[in-house]
Structure formats: structure tokens, C-alpha cells
Amino acid sequence: MNSIQATFPTLTSTFDLGTGTWSADDSNPYVQTATTLPTGFAFVWDETIDLTPFAVQDKTFFPDRLGAQQPGLHLCGPAAANWNGEAGLEIMDIITSVPIGIGDLKDALIARTFPGMPDYPLDNQFIMMGKYCAYSADANLSYPGLMNPVKEANFGAGLPTAADKLFCYRIVLPRSGAAPPQNGATLEIPGTRYTIAGRAEEESELAYIYRLRQSYEQKQG
């Protein structure tokens, strides 16, 4: 049994109403990419998983089980008033065998279109794991700034891959209704670790070459 792992770090940031920007997360820096939303920016984290130990042996990785660890809370604070009582949050996590442009992913989440689905150009077979989550603040709760999940959905095919690396992305999209958050509004997202257990095995030469060809053609667009 083999396993691969992707870790998306904690995100913390504070909104500056004067500049319409968020503070940098110096401990675990996310890339900020501009949007037309009142919250101004989306946050993106990307990393890769090295599969060359399997690729050099001409082995295919067959995923079997997906595990997720996410201790912590999703918070939009310091209080509901700092978000005009309309704090919302969307997060999309993806592990794929072909790269995707960060700008494309940001635009897709704003439009609520998802890689591997019919309204997105990337074929579902190349998405090993995808997860979409939406959160909303509840002003009636006593815990300041707590966000509750209102929608969770998994997507992707989870198929075997002969790629030499996997591409991992997290896109965090704050939403605040029609107006921007107030000055000093804060955002806190806990880190998440995904572990995919599986096995690396040789398959028939024809199947292996066909799998490599599909991956190459998708990377070439």
C-alpha cells in the first residue's frame, strides 16, 4: 500500500477598507488574485505531489481511499457587524494530474463552474479529487465569527494516473453581499490535509502508453 499527501495551510488575513486589500499571511502566504467582488480578492494556494518514484519504474498509481483532516474553525470576524451581517465563504480544493491556471480557477469559482464538469473544459478523468464547500455566518450563534457549512460536494473521477506529478490547488473566495467588509474584518481558514491511499503497480504496456498519451494531450491543451 502506498499513500500520497497534500496539505493546504492555514489562512489568516485582515481587510483594509482604505485600500480594498487583505493583509498578507506571512506564516503561510497565499497568492491573492483580484476579483470584481466587494471583498476584492480571492486567495489561492498551489503545490505539487512528486510521483517520479512511480514514474521511473513505469508504474501507475491506483487511488483507493481518500482521507481528510481539518481541525479548527472557519471564522469571519471579529463579529458579524464587521461583515455587515453578510459573511460568506467558498472554498474549492482540487488534486489533478494536469496543471490549471490560477486565474482560470478563480474565475470558475466566482461563476460556480467546476473542473471536470460539463461547463468547464478540463475532462473529469484528470481530476483525482475535488471538493467544494460553502459557509455562511450565523449572527444568532454565541461564538464570534463562526461560519457554518451550508453546502459540501465532492467531484472528480478518482482514476489511476501515470503522471510524474499531481497539481494541488485551494481557492478561497470571501463574499460579503453587495458591500465590502468593514475595516479590520478578519478571515481565518484552518489548514487541511488530504491523504490518498492506493497502490503503485505495473499495467499492460498498451494501457500504460495510452494513459501517458491522454495526459500529454491534455497538458498541451
For 67-109, what is each residue's pLDDT tens digit?
999 999 999 988 878 998 889 999 999 999 989 999 999 999 9
- Measured CA to CA, the distance from residue 49 to residue 53 in angstroms comes to 11
* pLDDT at residue 220, as a whole number: 55
Give the C-alpha distances (Å, rounded to integers) separating 219 from 55, 103, 126: 17, 17, 10
Determine the pLDDT at residue 219. Answer: 61
Q: How much is the pTM?
A: 0.91
In the chain, domain spans: 2-219
| pLDDT, position 84 | 87
Give Cα separations from 121 to 62, 91, 134, 161, 196 (angstroms): 24, 20, 23, 19, 25
Maximal C-alpha separation, the chain: 61
Choosing among 2.40.50, 2.30.30, 2.60.40, 2.60.175, the CATH entry for 2-219 is 2.60.175
pLDDT of residue 177: 87
Give the model's pLDDT for residue 189: 95
Neighbours of 214 (CB within 10 A): 17
pLDDT for position 106 = 94
What pLDDT does 217 receive?
63
Q: Are 165 and 48 in contact (CB under 8 A)?
A: yes
Positions of the chain with pLDDT lower than 50, given as ranges: none
Q: What is the spatial distance between Cα 126 and Cα 156, in angstroms, rounded to a whole number?
A: 8
What pLDDT score does 216 carry?
A: 63
